[in-house]
Structure 1
Amino acid sequence: MPPRHAARVSIVFRALNEEKWFADALEACRRQELDGTSVEIILVDSGSTDRTIEIAESYGCRVVHIKKSDFTFGRSLNYGCEAATGDYLVFISAHCIPAHEKWLENLIAPLKKDEADYVYGRQIGHDVTRFSEHQIFAQYFPEHDKLPQDDFFANNANSAISKSLWEKYKFDEAVTGLEDMVLAKAIQKDGGRIGYVSDAPVYHIHEESLSQTRRRYFREALTLREIMPEVQFQLGDFFRYYFAAVLHDLSEALNKKRFISKSPEIVMFRLMQYWGAYRGHNEHRILSREQKESYYYPKPRNRNAAPAQHNATLNREKSPAE
């Protein structure tokens, strides 16, 4: 009998000026414990001007470039997948850090065992994560597996698929966001299975301004209304969901004795979240090139802090709600 082919995994990052957390993410990838599986790491860079590429090269990553004029979220991932040699493709944001050494093995396990066709892992907050985002992570990324799940929710900040299945579908290169859910819907429509793995967590670090938060939810809503046209988000929905979310978060903050310090942040974050979603669901203009770039290319994060100072946070356990 011929020797069995050893599995190979390609981890695909996409990045634009992600130097602050990228080294931490790569270091965590380097520490992964795998049994008989080789790993390559690919960075799809869309024009970084900071140390992102330098960091990638220092960790032995293969760097793939995409022009700013050609960039979409789906296209950048397709570039990385085309360059990949792995049997399994793993997607992770450059500001996401695997939380333990079994992250990768646990994430791809359902693919190897044929329990799911496209999987995504848990996301938890970091020390710098806004209070309301901790609540969002807890809502959408629970502590129990869903293998398979009933709906087509998925998130490419921490996900995996076989290369053969990606070659069949590929990511939609035209959508302004939620390319993961567009792919998941297509797979599920053809009888495929979407799965969630709770014990494959990453720390997902958003350090956005409030205006960047609003743009993110606006951009995602533009796609959501296409893949779920039956979902309407009217002004009344905006007020109802906004006040419900604020009251929930304020209650959580009170329980954690953080009510005074977190109340202003909660009110403003949820306002930007739901106002962005409302505007995206009700936007009827065709976006100009300048507008598209403002959504694809938000202003860079504050990168004053050195990556090394955050390494210590990875060595202790954290809850999704601090």
Structure 2
Amino acid sequence: MKTISIIIPTLNGEQELSSLLPLIPKREDIELIVIDSSSDDKTREIALTYGAKVVKINRKEFNHGGTRNLALKEAEGSYLVYLTQDVLLYDESSIDNLVKAFENEKVAITYGRQLPHSNAKVFGSFARLFNYPDKSSIKSLGDKELLGLKTVFSSNSFAAYRKEFLTRVGGFPDNVILGEDMFVASKAILEGYSIAYVSEAKVFHSHNYSILEEFQRNFDIGVFHSKESWILNKFSQPEGEGFKFVKSEWQFLIQQGLVHLIPLSIVRNAAKFIGYKLGKKHKNINAFWVKKISMYKSYWNYN
């Protein structure tokens, strides 16, 4: 009987898996599941080399929630650890440190600390430092007034779930543009469970998004918040957290002697804000342009 199921959705992940999989513990109580979206490289061959159960799906069928639900049905473990292919485990204790938080019976979800990759640029690095501090915490409904939307912040790039809980709430939403982790985290908090942030469980994971990519991603976040407005109604609007982020980013740039990057910061954050607001109003935008400016364009093939 497996205790931990490690689940990785992949697409042309040959290079990333070659670095990620060697650090995953090889034990009888751990199974590895790869849900592959019709890769054109050796992703599946590499996964099989490391003993993974490989499930192949059509690339057009990938969805942030539905694809992870396929793995939920395949998994034997009591605890499900979800990774993305572009993370790199900090060390071989990363998985065990993440799952250890389930010793607290109130915890339904845990997520770990994401550190910037070695090639991370300044804005990508700061985003990781802001969202993933070096101090662990446990969040519950009582933190809603203080934390707002951060109460239900989590990340399926490196998160774990009690299988019993995830199954009982129906898994992830089958068709979301992104935010499947926040969707389930919100359900957990509202049902009286807790979410553990485990700073001792670490991975390397960051993005060097361009201004256009920041705009596109935040457009998609706006779409998600528009479609799942119950989350904002329960946990407040995100604008306050956005202003806090900008202020902290400027302080970081000043401390690092990078004051000359503040104008670029203004442009980047303006792009995020505009993208988010447009995403919230996506129903008023022509379908051609919605797909054009979205980051996850395949979502619109069925919506």
Measured against the shorter chain, the TM-score band is: 0.7 to 0.9
Give the alignment of 1:169-184 within 5 angstroms: 169=169, 170-184=171-185
Deviation at 1:11, TM superposition (A): 0.5
Contact 2:88–2:204 (8 Å) recurs in 1? yes
Aligned pair partner of 2:14 in 12, 19, 28: 19
Q: TM-score scaled by structure 2?
A: 0.81
Aligned AA for 2:166?
Answer: W
Q: Give the whole-Å Cα distance in 2 for the aligned partners of 1:213 and 1:72.
A: 20
Give the percent of matched residue pairs that are identical in Structure 1 and Structure 2. Answer: 25
Residue-pair matches, total: 283
Contact 2:2–2:76 at 8 Å: present in 1 too?
no
Q: Where do residues 210-249 of structure 1 align in structure 2 (5 Å cutoff)?
A: 210-225=211-226, 226-230=229-233, 231=236, 248-249=248-249
Letter aligned with residue 108 of structure 1: V
**Structure 1 residue 81: deviation in Å?**
1.4
**1:194 Cα deviation after fit:** 1.6
- Matched letter for residue 47 of structure 2: A
Contact 1:115–1:148, Cα closer than 8 Å, also in 2: no
Answer whether contact 1:221 1:281 (CA < 8 A) is retained.
Answer: yes
Where 1:60 maps in the other structure, the secondary structure is coil
Aligned counterpart for 1:72 among listed residues 48, 59, 63: 63
Secondary structure of the residue that 1:109 maps to in structure 2?
helix
User: How far apart are residue 180 of structure 1 and its match?
Assistant: 0.6
1:91 counterpart residue number: 82
> Aligned equivalents of 2:216 and 2:205: distance in 1?
18
- 1:41 corresponds to which residue? 32
Q: CA deviation at 1:142?
A: 1.6
Secondary structure class of the residue paired with 1:117: strand
Using the alignment, how far apart are the partners of 2:52 and 2:12 within structure 1? 16
**1:56 matched to 2:47:** yes
Counterpart AA for 1:249: E
Matched AA of 1:219: D
Structure 2 residue 276 is the aligned partner of structure 1 residue 283: no
Listed as ranges, the matches of 1:269-308 within 5 Å are 269-285=268-284, 288=287, 291=291, 295-296=295-296
- Counterpart in 2 of 1:301? none
Displacement of 1:179 in angstroms is 0.5
Further displaced range: 177-186 or 273-282: 273-282
Aligned to 2:173, the other structure's residue is in SS state coil
SS at match of 1:73: coil
Post-superposition CA distance 1:13-71 (Å, at most 9, x none): 112223332221112214x7x7xx62111111122223322322232222112223322
Answer yes or no: is the 8 Å Cα contact 2:216–2:293 preserved in 1. no
Cα distance, 1:251–1:147 mapped onto 2, change above 3 Å: closer
Quote the offset at 1:143 in angstroms: 1.4
Asked if 1 retains the 8 angstrom alpha-carbon contact of 2:114 and 2:132, the reply is yes
Q: Using a 3 Å threshold, how does the CA distance of structure 1 residues 258 and 200 change in structure 2: closer, same or farther?
A: same
CA–CA separation in structure 2 for the residues paired with 1:211 and 1:83: 37
Matches of 1:40 and 1:25, distance apart in 2 = 15
Task: Structure 2: state its 5+ residue gaps.
Answer: 144-150, 299-303
The aligned amino acid for 2:112 is G
Work out whether residues 116 and 128 of structure 2, in 8 Å CA contact, stay in contact via their aligned partners in 1. yes
Note the alpha carbon deviations across 1:183-223, whole angstroms, 9 max, x for none: 11112222222221111111113244443332222212222
Higher mean displacement: 53-62 or 282-291: 282-291
Distance 1:54 1:198, change over 3 A: same
Q: Which amino acid aligns with 2:296?
A: Y
Larger deviation: 92-101 or 64-73?
64-73
2:123 to 123, 127, 132: 132
**Aligned mates of 2:297, 2:86 — CA distance in 1:** 15
- Check the 8 A contact 1:117/1:192 in 2, yes or no: yes
Structure-1-length-normalised TM-score: 0.76
- Bigger drift between 248-257 and 127-136 goes to 248-257
Q: In the alignment, is the contact (CA less than 8 A) between 1:182 and 1:227 conserved in 2?
A: no
Asked if structure 2 preserves the Cα contact closer than 8 Å seen for 1:10 and 1:84, the reply is yes
User: Normalized per residue, which structure has more helix?
Assistant: 2
Distance 1:291 1:124, change over 3 A: same
SS of alignment partner, residue 147 of structure 1: strand
Task: Give the Å deviation of 1:7.
Answer: 5.2
**For the residues of structure 1 that align with 2:39 and 2:293, how far apart are their CA atoms?**
15
